[in-house]
Amino acid sequence: LGLLYQEYRDKSTRQEIETRRLQDSQTDPEESSPSEETPSETEPASTPESTAAPQLNLLRNSNSRFNLWQDLPEIRSSGILSILQPDEIKLQEAMFELVTSEASYYKSLNLLVSHFMENERLKKILHQSEAHILFSNVLDVMAVSERFLLDLEQRVEENIVISDVCDIVYQHTVNHFSVYITYVSNQTYQERAYKQLLQDKPAFREVISQLELDPKCKGLSFSSFLILPFQRITRLKLLVQNILKKVEEKSERETTALDAHKELETVVKACNEGVRKMSRTEQMISIQKKLEFKIKSVPIISHSRWLLKQGELQQMNGPKTSRTLRTKKLFREIYLFLFNDLLVICRQIPGDKYQVFDSAPRGLLRVEELEDQGQSLANVFILRLLENADDREASYMLKASSQSEMKRWMISLAPNRRTKFVSFTSRLVDCPQIQCVHPYVAQQPDELSLELADVLNILDKTDDGWIFGERLHDQERGWFPSSTGEEILNPKIRAQNLKECFRVHKSDDSQRRKLGSRNRQ
């Protein structure tokens, strides 16, 4: 492919967005999108220049056109498009995209190694340990991608109609894809080392800038190449999901796709956990140093504990006179550290320290919103500690700076509290949905990073432009600005998205049912 993976991925996701927009505007979601139409009968069929298999012509083509399986001259001239059912053509396209995107990804990896890592000037500037942190085990990742791509190409060579690719995905995920966990787990060190090198070594900064200007890089930054393996392993899971949605139900291909998806999900989760582990440990050590206990000390650092949310709220001091209301002394500042299993309530003291005066297990927290209480009590909610640091029940009336901040605190403090809309996991027939059209990087622990074309159920929303959503492909939840997405208005498309999601995760559901049955026994 003429396209680097960054370009390929961007085109692919934007095409997905446009396809969904078109479907959303139609009354029948089964109507084909332009990307899925079969070629016109009147269009002249191209004669293949050789007997080479169609996928090899595409992978070796320097033309940067974004190709479809059905666009290949060999496919058009074979007459196969008039024989295959529309659903099978869509499945062929889904499998073909997995192959061509791997070729594009391998090309970008190769450029990262040959153009950046093996550059003689860069080698002289970087110490061996710096180079190791910066490039990690990228050679192992590239070798795995090459082996994977060769097996995919061989499969496509076997027949003009691709039989399956998920069995190959499964084998490589089980046997080789652990190299991704190693690479991605190094990401925090990698980012830090890159920033430090840019800051401390002008020669490094100069060489990287010159290398980025090379036409080979097509205007893409060095950092966009470094992040490729993490983006690819996540995208690969979505490509298998796309195949899974199109294979016939209860078929061998469905079983293979489910197996491949399950293994990929395991690798992606291990990658995510690897990234989080180091940053969480450092964050917990930093927080512990800032806390001073007015009550009995609680050990903060634990391998199973991490921060969910922190920030300042206003605490109501109790019944006050109207004069106090006028002078705005009804509330005083408190600071909350909310962990996955513990709430710590503090007051900020000089020296960037926090004095802890109460705490409670997160499972013993309850929240309640106050409504229609006038402007002075706007964005106020009640926080109840069923059992606090003194082994008694305690209540706090807390005021947030905005409606979104109030809702974010309430959902974080009591995650099982019912939201405005019900989660898709409840098997609700319909639920508001949104698709991401602008990527978003989470700024706070309770936010959700979004990629282009992500589809989410809307669980809650605020008047000041925030949405609490649950992403369909991995059930991750979090807040994000409403400006990042477009709501899906067609109820048939929403229902279709849910149906596809249930199908993708049905193996997870059966596993959960087995565990539940075992626990009951």
Number of domains the chain contains: 3
CATH number of the domain that 352 lies in? 2.30.29.30
Which residue from 115, 289, 83, 309 is spatially nearest to 212, judged by alpha carbons?
115
CATH number at residue 170: 1.20.900.10
Q: Which of 369, 392, 413 is the last residue before a domain boundary?
A: 413
pLDDT in tens, 351-384: 999 999 999 999 999 999 887 666 667 889 999 9
Tell me which of 413, 445, 462 is where a domain ends: 413
Query: Of 380, 413, 446, which residue is a domain's last?
Result: 413
pLDDT at 507: 59
Are 338 and 444 found together in one domain?
Answer: no
Q: Is residue 484 one of the residues assigned to a domain?
A: yes
pLDDT in tens, 379-410: 899 999 999 999 999 999 999 999 999 999 99
Predicted confidence (pLDDT) at residue 127 exceeds the cutoff of 60: yes
Q: How far apart, in whole angstroms, are the C-alpha atoms of residue 216 and residue 7?
A: 13
User: Does residue 95 form part of some domain?
Assistant: yes
What single string gives the DSSP state of each residue in 296-345?
Answer: S------TT--EEEEEEEEEE-S---HHHHHTT-SEEEEEEEEESSEEEE
Task: Convert the pLDDT of each residue in 158-217 to its tens digit.
Answer: 999 999 999 999 999 999 999 999 999 999 899 999 999 999 999 999 999 999 999 999
Domain identity same for 270 and 385: no
Range scoring the smallest mean pLDDT among 50-54, 299-303, 469-473: 50-54
Find residue 293's DSSP bridge partners: 356
Mean pLDDT, rounded, of the chain: 85
170-174, 342-346, 467-471, 493-497: range with lowest mean pLDDT: 493-497
The answer to whether residues 399 and 460 belong to one domain is no
Is 29 domain-assigned?
A: no
Indicate if the pLDDT at residue 324 is higher than 90.
Answer: no
Residue at 436 is within a domain? yes
Percent of the chain with pLDDT over 70: 83
The arrangement of strands across the sheet holding 455-461 comes to 477-481, 466-471, 455-461, 433-436, 485-488
Q: What is the pLDDT of residue 490?
A: 93
Strand 433-436 and strand 477-481: pairing? unpaired
Give the per-residue pLDDT at 386. 95
User: Which domain range does residue 398 map to?
Assistant: 294-320+327-413
Same-domain check for residues 117 and 240: yes
Domain membership of residue 50 (yes or no) is no
Q: Residue 103 pLDDT more than 80?
A: yes
Sorted by sequence, the CB contacts under 8 Å of residue 491 that are 6+ apart come out as 430
Residue 43 lies inside a defined structural domain of this protein: no
Token pair in block for residue 49: 């220049």
Provide, rounded to the nearest whole percent, the portion of the chain with pLDDT above 90: 66
Name the pTM for this structure: 0.79
In a domain, 9, yes or no: no
pLDDT at 434: 96
Claim to verify: residue 393 and residue 459 sit in the same structural domain: no
Mean pLDDT, to the nearest integer, of 263-272?
Answer: 95
Domain shared by 109 and 219, yes or no: yes
Q: pLDDT tens, 269-322?
A: 999 988 888 788 889 999 999 999 999 888 899 888 999 999 999 998 765 444
Task: Say whether both 269 and 302 belong to one domain.
Answer: no
- Asked whether residue 419 is domain-assigned, the answer is no
Same domain, 192 and 217: yes
Instruction: Give the residue among 86, 31, 93 at the shortest CA–CA distance from 492.
Output: 31
Q: Find residue 368's DSSP bridge partners.
A: 382
> Are 133 and 270 in the same domain?
yes
Q: What are phi and psi of 51, to 5 degrees?
A: -90, 10
Pairing of strands 477-481, 466-471: antiparallel
Nearest alpha-carbon partner for 49 in 41, 38, 61, 40: 61
Clarify whether residues 183 and 274 are in a common domain: yes
Q: On the CB side of 181, how many CA atoms lie within 13 Å of its CA?
A: 17
pLDDT for the residue numbered 419: 63
- pLDDT tens string 429-467: 578 999 999 999 999 999 999 999 999 999 999 999 999
Q: Whose CA is closest to 355, among 288, 301, 291, 297?
A: 291
The C-alpha atoms of residue 62 and residue 49 are separated, in whole angstroms, by 16
- Residue 253 pLDDT > 90, yes or no? yes
The predicted model gives 496-512 an average pLDDT of 73
3-state secondary structure of 470: strand
306 and 157, same structural domain?
Answer: no
Query: Among 97, 53, 47, 95, which residue's Cα sits nearest to residue 73?
Result: 47
Looking at the structure, tell me whether residues 227 and 110 fall in a common domain.
yes
